[in-house]
Amino acid sequence: MLILLLLGLLGTIAAIILAFTPPAIRHCLIGTKAVCNRYLP
């Protein structure tokens, strides 16, 4: 039960972080390398 609660909390934190990062960095984190290389030096 505690493990599920922690996973939910981590998921929520990850969602908040993704919501506040610019799209270029978000694509980079998700793993689209082409987008990452185009937007970031």
CB 28 within 8 A of CB 36: yes
Q: What is the pTM of this model?
A: 0.46
CA torsion sign for 30, 36, 39, 41 is positive
As a whole number of angstroms, the distance between CA 2 and CA 12 comes to 15
Q: What is the pLDDT of residues 1-41, one digit of tens each?
A: 899 999 999 989 888 877 777 766 666 666 666 666 666 55
